[in-house]
């Protein structure tokens, strides 16, 4: 609660995430016998105060603070291009417990096996085979991938990075569009297996369907978190998330004859 006193009028502003509420109450009582000119001056001050209140209400509410610690559970991150999603993920990657597939992760001019082993050089062949199976990495271990993975398709490169991230066994797995480049059904199957094998996860995605059962979703717009909640909470209120969800559902072919 913030109380301002201006021009003989008390302005009480209450902000709690909901639209601000304004209470105007006269601080000074005009005597019935007060000169008309004085009353007019007082009213001019009141009108100025009301105008300033209206301007305050028109200003956008302060955005929610961006979390700086890796969150717990399964957390989705969505928003339009350039909203700050990947920047947020890179900031989380600086935390020792967090590792993952970021949009600027590098693939070296070496074999598939050497690239995956970077996460844990002492890993056994069985551990390598396990993560390869989880992500459907269908490239032979001795394949030389070229500079930055040029010899691989986009989907294969993503899956190599995903296998590397899983082999690292991080406390928090960071995923930035990890199955981009795969057909939707194939990508969803790979992502389901990865999520089942991982613990805490932060997933940046342009598709909302994988987030239905997530613990929390952060909506980024203009470099800030503008909404947060579960999938059910976010689709129940107007805004970017609900609009995206409705558009995504409308694009799904109907199976009803």
169-207 pLDDT per residue, tens: 988 999 999 988 888 899 999 999 999 999 899 999 999
Whether the per-residue pLDDT at 26 is higher than 80: the answer is no
Q: Do the bridges between strand 74-78 and strand 216-221 make them parallel or antiparallel, or are there none, so unpaired?
A: parallel
For residue 92, is it within any domain? yes
**Structure confidence at residue 116 as a pLDDT band (50, 70, 90):** very high
Residue at 225 is within a domain: yes
pLDDT recorded at residue 93: 84
* pLDDT-derived band at 99, boundaries 50, 70, 90: low
Residue 205 located in a structural domain: yes
Q: What's the structural domain count of the chain? A: 2
Residue-wise pLDDT tens digits, 44-80? 565 665 565 455 445 444 455 555 566 789 999 999 9
**Same structural domain, 149 and 249:** no
pTM of the model: 0.69
* Structural domain harbouring 85: 70-97+172-256
Q: What pLDDT shows up at residue 96?
A: 73
Q: Is 228 helix (H, G, I), strand (E, B) or coil?
A: strand
Q: Could you tell me if 240 and 142 lie in one domain? A: no
Tell me: do 176 and 92 sit in the same domain. Answer: yes
Asked whether residue 80 falls in the same domain as residue 123, the answer is: no
Q: Mean pLDDT throughout 121-127?
A: 96
Does residue 160 share a domain with residue 188? no
Are 78 and 187 within one domain?
yes
- Mean pLDDT (the chain) is 79
CA distance 179 to 56: 44
The strand ranges marked E within 102-147 are none
* 84 inside domain: yes
Q: Looking at the structure, tell me whether residues 85 and 203 fall in a common domain.
A: yes
Q: Residue 84 maps to which CATH number?
A: 3.40.50.300
What integer pLDDT is reported at residue 94 of this predicted model? Answer: 84
Contacts of residue 85, Cβ cutoff 8 Å, sequence gap at least 6: 77, 78, 79, 176, 204, 220
pLDDT of residue 37: 57
CA dihedral 47→49→53→54, nearest 10 degrees, is: 20
Domain contains 146: yes
φ/ψ (deg, to 5) at 245 = -65, -45
Same-domain pairing of 122 and 212 = no
Let me know if residue 145 belongs to a domain. yes
Selection from 1, 24, 5 nearest residue 13 by Cα: 1
Residue whose token pair is 């009141």:
46
């Amino acid at each position: 609660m913030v109380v301002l006193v201006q021009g003989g009028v008390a302005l009480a502003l209450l902000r709690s995430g909901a639209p601000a509420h304004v209470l105007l109450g006269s601080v000074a009582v005009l005597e019935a016998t007060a000169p008309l000119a004085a009353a007019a001056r007082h009213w001019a001050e009141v009108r100025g105060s009301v105008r300033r209140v209206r301007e305050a209400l028109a200003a956008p509410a302060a955005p929610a603070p961006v979390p700086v610690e890796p969150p717990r559970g399964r957390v989705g991150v969505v928003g339009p291009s350039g909203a700050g999603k990947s920047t947020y993920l890179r900031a989380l990657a600086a935390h020792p417990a967090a590792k993952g597939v970021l949009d600027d992760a590098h693939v070296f001019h070496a074999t598939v096996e050497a690239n995956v082993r970077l996460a844990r050089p002492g890993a056994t062949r069985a551990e390598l085979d396990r993560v390869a199976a989880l992500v459907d990495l269908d490239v032979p271990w001795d394949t030389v991938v070229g500079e930055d993975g040029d010899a691989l398709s986009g989907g294969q490169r993503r899956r190599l990075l995903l296998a590397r991230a899983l082999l690292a066994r991080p406390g928090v797995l960071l995923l930035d569009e990890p199955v981009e480049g795969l057909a939707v059904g194939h990508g969803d199957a790979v992502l389901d297996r990865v999520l089942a094998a991982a613990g805490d996860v932060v997933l940046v995605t342009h598709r909302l369907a994988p987030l239905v059962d997530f613990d929390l979703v952060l909506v980024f717009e203009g470099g800030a978190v503008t909404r947060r909640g579960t999938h059910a909470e976010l689709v129940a209120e107007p805004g970017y998330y609900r609009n995206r969800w409705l558009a995504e559902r409308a694009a799904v072919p109907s199976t009803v004859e």
